């Protein structure tokens, strides 16, 4: 168990791990963090799998984690780390994603959700805050969450269908792709439209993209 090494009292530097696939962001962030007297950079990860490995190796006090990464998704990395180290303090740091990403990150065990358009002083303040055991949800993010209080969850099937629709498949093609009748596909889409509050498949796709429910490759 690696959770007991995190004390609420700061008797040493805050050991930080940064995970982001963009070198510009990752190295730039690292360069800023090391300028802080009370912060110590223990590693940089360029994907989720490497983030997990480095977390196991160094067990940092705080981990800054981007969500969109190759090899292993940021959310998946958060889940893996928090199940292994329940007291891990992870901050999701990403550009503006949909509310679905925010929820998934927090559900996976993230202690906070930061946006890249925040001031660096705020980011550093958030690192110190989570080290103290606090949760960090900026008002902008909280507002985004409050915008859709009821999670308009799409079921796995509905997401699968919508993802295929986004690729331009017709109902019949989707039915063939998932091995079901096109009548079934129509029902899934109908329920999806109702949940998202849209009238047609095209708007359903764009709304799902902006809310982070699906992603374009």
Smallest separation, CB 198 to DNA (Å): 8
| x-marked contacts with a copy of itself along 64-93 as a string, rule CB under 8 A | -----------------------------x
With 0-12 CB in 10 A as exposed, 13-18 as middle and 19+ as buried, what is 161? Answer: buried
Query: Nearest approach, Cβ of 130 to DNA (angstroms)?
Result: 31
Residue ranges that bind DNA, judged by CB under 7 A:
153, 155-158, 170-172, 175, 178, 180-184, 186-191, 193, 199-202
Q: What tokens were used for 2?
A: 């690696």
Partner from DNA, a copy of itself, none contacting 216, C-beta within 5 to 8 A by type: a copy of itself
| Phi, psi torsion values for 61, nearest 5 degrees | -75, -40
How far are the Cα atoms of 13, 82, 188, 192 from residue 145, in angstroms, in the given order?
33, 22, 25, 20
Q: Looking at beta carbons only, is 7 or 202 nearer to DNA? A: 202
Task: Give yes or no for residue 28 binding a copy of itself (CB under 8 A).
Answer: yes
CA distance 57 to 152: 39
In the bound complex, what is the minimum distance in angstroms from residue 74's beta carbon to DNA?
25
| Structure-token pair, residue 192 | 């999806």
- Indicate whether 172 belongs to the interface with a copy of itself (CB under 8 A): no
Rounded to an integer, what distance in angstroms lies between the CA atom of residue 4 and that of residue 6? 5
DSSP 3-state assignment of 42? strand
Q: Nearer to a copy of itself by C-beta: 135 or 201?
A: 201
The footprint of a copy of itself (CB under 8 A) covers 21-25, 27-32, 35, 93, 95, 116-120, 123, 165-168, 170, 198-207, 209-210, 216
């Amino acid at each position: 168990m690696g959770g007991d090494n995190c004390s609420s009292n700061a008797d040493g530097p805050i050991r930080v791990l940064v995970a982001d696939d963009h070198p510009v962001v990752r190295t730039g962030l690292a360069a800023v963090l090391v300028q802080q007297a009370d912060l110590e950079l223990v590693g940089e990860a360029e994907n989720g799998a490497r983030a997990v490995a480095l977390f196991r190796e160094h067990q940092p006090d705080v981990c800054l984690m981007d969500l969109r990464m190759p090899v292993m998704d940021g959310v998946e990395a958060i889940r893996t780390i928090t199940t292994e180290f329940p007291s891990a303090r992870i901050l999701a740091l990403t550009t503006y994603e949909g509310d679905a990403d925010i929820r998934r990150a927090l559900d996976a065990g993230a202690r906070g959700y930061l946006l890249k358009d925040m001031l660096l002083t705020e980011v550093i303040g958030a690192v110190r805050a989570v080290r103290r055991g606090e949760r960090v949800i900026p008002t902008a993010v909280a507002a985004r969450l409050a915008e859709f209080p009821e999670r308009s969850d799409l079921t796995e099937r509905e997401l699968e269908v919508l993802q295929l629709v986004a690729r331009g498949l017709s109902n019949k093609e989707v039915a063939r792709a998932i091995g079901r009748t096109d009548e079934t596909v129509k029902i899934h889409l109908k329920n999806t439209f109702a949940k998202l509050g849209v009238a047609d498949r095209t708007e359903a796709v764009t709304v799902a993209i902006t809310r982070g429910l699906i992603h374009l490759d």
